[in-house]
Amino acid sequence: MRQQNELRRLRKGPERGERPEGIGPDRFVVRCPGNAEAVLRKAREVMEAALQSSMDNWPSDSHWPALLPAWFVAACAPEMSEEESEAHTAAWLRLSDEEKIAAAADQSWSVLSWVFWLHPDERGWWWWDASISNENELVVWIDVDGWPYPWGNLTWLLQASGAQEVTSVD
């Protein structure tokens, strides 16, 4: 039911008087290079495809690339082999917290890394609403289950959709 409500909010926004199911909304300011409307349209397109595809049964890893928009799949990093993943994790663990933040901001996500964090057992955020402030900025609100929560896949979704910068402001 939660995914159905999220899909409805993605398409139409929250209903009058509707309250978040988690601890409340978190707000992100999304900076765009004159394309805020396109960024929001593309982000909604990906989220809708992911939610529709996973509503009843979670798709297998091999199916995800065909279920998501081709432009999003093309923007994603290639999947890593097990050896590459182990080397990446080892290098990641050697970074300071500041270096991890900087690296994460510059890193493309693979399709499977991105959808992993959308699985209902892994979710920390749910789409709540969005609005365009002007051609260079939009605001996205998400409902969060607790704090802290993983929101890197939201950042990647918006960056892959054309955003330059995504900042949590709450």
DSSP labels for 32-100? Answer: -SS-HHHHHHHHHHHHHHHHHHHSSSPPPGGGHHHHS-HHHHHHSBPPPPHHHHHHHHHHHHTS-HHHH
Per-residue pLDDT of the chain (170 residues; tens, 9 = 90+): 789 999 999 999 999 999 998 888 899 999 999 999 999 999 999 999 999 999 889 999 999 999 999 999 999 999 977 888 788 778 878 888 777 666 666 678 999 999 999 998 899 899 999 999 999 999 999 999 988 888 889 999 999 999 999 999 97
Q: How many domains does the chain have?
A: 1
Predicted TM-score (pTM) of the model is 0.90
- Hey, what are 45's tokens? 């397109």
